A and B are shown apart, each in its own frame.
Chain A
Amino acid sequence: MSNQKKRNFQIEAFKHRVVVDPKYADKTWQILERAIHQIYNQDASGLSFEELYRNAYNMVLHKFGEKLYTGFIATMTAHLKEKSKLIEAAQGGSFLEELNKKWNEHNKALEMIRDILMYMDRTYIESTKKPHVHPMGLSLWRDNVVHFPKIHARLLNTLLDLVQKERTGEVIDRGLMRNVIKMFMDLGESVYQDDFEKPFLEASSEFYKVESQEFIESCDCGDYLKKAEKRLTEEIDRVAHYLDAKSEDKITSVVEKEMIANHMQRLVHMENSGLVNMLLNDKYDDLGRMYSLFRRVTNGLVTVRDVMTLHLREMGKQLVTDPEKSKDPVEFVQRLLDERDKYDKIISTAFGNDKTFQNALNSSFEYFINLNARSPEFISLFVDDKLRKGLKGIAEVDVEVVLDKVMMLFRYLQEKDVFEKYYKQHLAKRLLSGKTVSDDAERSLIVKLKTECGYQFTSKLEGMFTDMKTSEDTMRGFYGSHPELSEGPTLIVQVLTTGSWPTQPAVPCNLPAEVSVLCEKFRSFYLGTHTGRRLSWQTNMGTADIKAVFGKGQKHELNVSTFQMCVLMLFNNADRLSYKEIEQATEIPASDLKRCLQSLACVKGKNVIKKEPMSKDIGEEDSFFVNDKFTSKFYKVKIGTVVAQKETEPEKQETRQRVEEDRKPQIEAAIVRIMKSRKILDHNNIIAEVTKQLQPRFLANPTEIKKRIESLIERDFLERDNTDRKLYRYLA
Chain B
Amino acid sequence: MRRSASKKPNQPNSVTSSATDLSRSASSKGSTKEMDRIDQLFNQYANTSSRVIDPEGIEKLCSNLEVSHTDIRILMLAWKMKAEKQGYFTLDEWRRALKSLRADTMRKLRKALPELEKEVRVPSNFADFYAYAFRYCLTEEKQKSIDVETICQLLDIVLGSTFRAQVDYFVDYLKVWIHLFISEDLIFQSFYQFVIISSHYEQIQNDYKVINMDQWMGFYRFCNEISFPDMTNYNPELAWPLILDNFFEWMREKQA
Contacts and interface: CB of A to CB of B under 8 A. Distances in A.
Q: Do A and B come from one complex?
A: yes
Interface string B142-180: 001100000000000000000000000000000000000
B186 to A, nearest CB: 14
Given A657-B191, A661-B198, A710-B206, A683 B212 contact: no
B238 A683 contact: yes
B212 A726 contact: no
Looking at A658, A684, A702, A725, which has the most chain B CB atoms within 10 Å of its CB? A725
B212 A714 contact: yes
B242 A711 contact: no
B250 interface: no
Given A683-B238, A728-B239, A713 B202 contact: no
B242 A715 contact: no
B239 A711 contact: no
Interface in B195-221: 195, 198, 200, 202-203, 206, 212-215, 221
Interface residues of B, number: 22
A661 B190 CA distance: 13
Contacts of A707: 206, 242
A706 interface: yes
Given A683-B239, A726-B239, A711 B206 contact: yes
A713 B214 contact: yes
Nearest to A703: B242
A702 B237 CA distance: 9
A192 B212 CA distance: 85
B34 to A, nearest CB: 37
B114 interface: no
Given A706-B242, A711-B206, 14 more contacts: A661-B194, A661-B200, A664-B203, A684-B237, A684-B238, A702-B237, A706-B245, A710-B206, A710-B242, A711-B203, A715-B202, A720-B239, A725-B221, A728-B239
Interface string A712-728: 01110000100001111
B229 interface: no
A727 B238 CA distance: 10
Contacts of A654: 190
A714 B194 contact: no
Contacts of B215: 710
Most buried by A among B198, B206, B213, B239: B239
Interface string B215-256: 100000100000000000000011101100100000000000
A638 to B, nearest CB: 33
A711 B201 CA distance: 12
Contact of B241 (A664, A710, A715, A728): A710
28 contacts: A657-B191, A657-B194, A661-B194, A682-B239, A684-B237, A684-B238, A703-B245, A706-B245, A707-B242, A710-B212, A710-B214, A710-B215, A711-B202, A711-B206, A713-B214, A714-B145, A714-B202, A714-B206, A714-B213, A715-B202, A720-B214, A720-B239, A725-B221, A725-B239, A726-B238, A726-B239, A727-B239, A728-B239
Interface in A677-732: 682-684, 702-703, 706-707, 710-711, 713-715, 720, 725-728
A333 to B, nearest CB: 30
Contacts of A684: 237-238
A661 B80 CA distance: 45
A720 B220 CA distance: 15
B144 A714 contact: yes
Which of A661, A682, A702, A710 counts the most B-chain CB atoms under 10 A from its CB? A710
A230 B221 CA distance: 72
Nearest to A711: B206
Q: What is the predominant secondary structure among interface residues of chain A facing chain B? A: helix
Nearest to A706: B242
Nearest to B221: A725
Interface in A499-534: none
A574 to B, nearest CB: 38
Contacts of B194: 657-658, 661
A657 B194 CA distance: 9
B251 to A, nearest CB: 17
Interface in A354-386: none
B23 to A, nearest CB: 34
B181 to A, nearest CB: 15
Nearest to A713: B214
A715 B145 CA distance: 11
Contacts of A706: 242, 245
Contacts of A714: 144-145, 202, 206, 212-214
A715 B205 CA distance: 12
Interface in A650-678: 654, 657-658, 661, 664
Nearest to A684: B237
Contacts of B213: 714
B238 to A, nearest CB: 6
A30 B167 CA distance: 117
A103 to B, nearest CB: 77
A661 B195 contact: yes
B201 to A, nearest CB: 12
B243 to A, nearest CB: 9
Contacts of A703: 242, 245
Contacts of A726: 238-239
B188 to A, nearest CB: 10
Contacts of B190: 654, 657
Contacts of A727: 239
Nearest to B212: A714
A683 B238 CA distance: 6
A661 B195 CA distance: 8
Contacts of B191: 657
Contacts of B212: 710, 714
Nearest to B205: A714
A726 B198 CA distance: 32
A706 B238 CA distance: 10
Most buried by B among A703, A711, A726: A711
A498 B56 CA distance: 58
A695 B214 CA distance: 29
A717 to B, nearest CB: 12
For the complex of A and B, list the 6 residue pairs with the smallest distance between their C-beta atoms, beginning with the closest: A683-B239, A706-B242, A713-B214, A714-B212, A726-B239, A707-B242
Nearest to B194: A657
Nearest to A705: B242
A684 B238 CA distance: 7
Nearest to A728: B239
A716 to B, nearest CB: 9
Contacts of A702: 237
A282 to B, nearest CB: 46
A661 B241 CA distance: 21
B195 to A, nearest CB: 7
Contacts of A725: 221, 239
